[in-house]
Amino acid sequence: MTLLAKPWIWSWLAAAIAFGLTLALTSGRGAGELAYAALSFGAFAAIVGMGQMLVITLGPGNVDLSIPATMTLTATLALKVMSSDPGTALLGLAVALAVGLGAGMANFALIFLLRLPPIIATLAASLVYQSLAIWSNRGLRIKPPEGLADFSTGRFLALPNVAWVALALAVVVWVVLERTVWGRWLLAAGQNMRAARLAGVPVEMVRAATYLAVSVFAGLAGYLLASFSGGAALNMGAEYLLMSIAVVVIGGTSIAGGASNVPGIWGAALFMFLVVSMLNSYGAGAGVRSVLTGTIIIAIVIAASTRRVRA
């Protein structure tokens, strides 16, 4: 009962069902491979999803639409700096995080100085980032340094390295939200910005830090994804716009703000991958796959909401 009351349980249940249904077709063969793939691909969705979660926790109207463009831009610039030279992985990481930080600052500057609604500010900024990425990329596909490529596709203790990174990040985010003063401030600001300010919460600092964090997360995801898939592509971030929002919501974070849910993000990230592979293995075409994915997202949101109403 108490377990069912946890908002994150639903995304894990859904992921488990999708996992089970896929394996039912192969009568259990390939479970390890499927789980491994889900953890690998889910890691990227989890990283951007946690960033988006922090922003959505800030309350209604807060969302970052620039995640895909930031991912592409950071990946492009990081790979350019590394130019496939061995031993530059950390330099590349530093560049990726710095570019992410810069994008976050630009986003927040637009929101704070021009008082734009975050949707519009991050949308407009993302157009600029996209142009920057196109301009700096010039259609070249630079390979990541070999060591980095090996790391991002490698494994440690049977789990993909990228999943370890995302898990570590999840632990950090969880601690920040549940145990730190800053996390409390974020949750307070998300419930009622004005009341939080009058209660002494430095709300602008909280907002700024959140928008910086989401872009840094996007930068990290872009860096890892490009290393994982052998180079940056201009559309590499595209699917992560809807993905980042979807995992937040399926994961049980309140879209109205003020309540976050880290474990749910992971469940939802795994689910989003597993449901596609499930439909694939049942031979569904792209159209059907998309329709079913959408229907499932809505069904989960409805299930979560009726549970909430009854509670």
Partner 1 sequence: MTALARYRIILPVVSLAVLLAATFYMQPRAMSYFGLNLLFNLAVPIALATIAQMMVIMVNDIDLSLGTFVSLVACITATFLHDTPLLGAAMLLALILSYAALGALIHTLELPAIVVTLGMSFVWGGLALFILPSPGGTSPVWLRTLMTVKPPFVPMAVVASVIIAAVTHLLVIRSGIGTVLRGVGGNARSVARAGWPLVRLKALAYGLCGLFGVLAGMALVGLTTSADANIALRYTLLSIAGVILGGGEFIGGKVSPTGAVIGALTLTLAASFLSFMRLSPDWQIGAQGAILILVLTARLIFSRKGSVA
Partner 2 sequence: MSEQASAAIVTLTQAAKHFGPVRALDGVSLSVAPGDCIGLVGHNGAGKSTLVNLVNGSLAPSSGEIRFATGSTAHAAGVRSVFQELSLCPNLTVAENLRISHRALKGPGWRRPARAEIRQSLDAIFPGHGIDPDAEVDTLSIAQRQMVEIAIGFAPRGTAARLVILDEPTSSLDAGIADQLLEHVRQFCAAGGAVVFISHMLGEIFDVATRIVVLKDGKIVAERPAGGFTRQGLVDAMGHVATEAAEAARTARELGAEVVRTEQGLSARAGEVVGLSGLAGHGQAAALARLYLSHSSSWRAGKTPRAVFVAGDRPRDGILPLWSILRNISVSVLRQGARWGLVDRAAEAETAATWKKRIGIRTENVENPVLSLSGGNQQKVLFARALASPARIVIMDDPMRGVDVGTKQDVYAMIQAEAARGRTFLWYSTETEEIIQCDRVFVFRDGAISAELTGADITEEKILQASFEMQEVS
Instruction: Fill in the DSSP letter of residue 260.
Output: -
Q: DSSP letters of 144-165?
A: PPHHHHHHHH-EETTEEHHHHH
Q: Quick one: 131 or 180, whose CB is closer to partner 2?
A: 180
140 binds partner 1 per the rule CB under 8 A: no
Helix (H, G, I), strand (E, B) or coil at 171: helix
**259 contributes a contact to partner 1 by CB under 8 A:** no
Asked whether position 201 contacts partner 2 by CB under 8 A, the answer is yes
Binding-site string for partner 1 from residue 107 to residue 126, where x marks contact by CB under 8 A and - marks none: ---x---xxxx-xx--xxxx
Q: Is 54 among the residues that bind partner 1 (CB under 8 A)? A: no
Contact call for residue 239 and partner 2 (CB under 8 A): no
DSSP 190-214: HH-HHHHHHTT--HHHHHHHHHHHH
Number of C-beta neighbours around residue 257 at 10 A:
22
Burial class of 275 by CB neighbour count within 10 A (0 to 12, 13 to 18, 19+)? buried
The amino acid sitting at 290 is: S
Q: Check binding of 311 to partner 2 (CB under 8 A).
A: no
Among 130, 161, 210, 261, binds partner 1 (CB under 8 A): 130
Q: Which is closer to partner 2, CB of 74 or CB of 254?
A: 254
- Rounded to 5°, angle at Cα 202 from 197 and 208: 115
Residues binding partner 1: number (CB under 8 A): 47
Footprint (CB under 8 A) of partner 1, residues 235-254: 242, 245-246, 249
Region from 71-79, 161-169, 174-182, 297-305 binding partner 1, contact rule CB under 8 A: 297-305
Q: Angle at which helices 181-191 and 161-179 pack, to 10 degrees?
A: 80
Among 5, 28, 135, 200, which residue sits at the site for partner 1 (rule: CB under 8 A)? Answer: 135
Rama region for 28: left / alpha / beta (φ>0; ψ in -120 to 50; rest): left
Check residue 200 for interaction with partner 2 (CB under 8 A). yes
| C-beta separation of 95 from 77 below 8 A | yes
Query: Does position 115 bind partner 2 by CB under 8 A?
Result: no
For the chain, how big is the Rg over CA atoms in Å? 19
- Give me the phi and psi of 84, to 5 degrees please: 60, 10
For partner 2, which stretch binds (CB under 8 A), given 96-104, 191-199, 244-252, 291-299? Answer: 191-199
Told to check if 61 binds partner 1 by CB under 8 A, we report yes
List, in sequence order, every residue forming a beta bridge with 159; answer none if it has no partner: 156
Binding residues vs partner 1 (CB under 8 A)? 60-61, 63, 65, 110, 114-117, 119-120, 123-128, 130-132, 134-135, 242, 245-246, 249, 255-256, 285-298, 301-302, 305-306, 309
Binding residues vs partner 2 (CB under 8 A)? 179-182, 184-185, 187-188, 191-192, 194-205, 254, 258-259
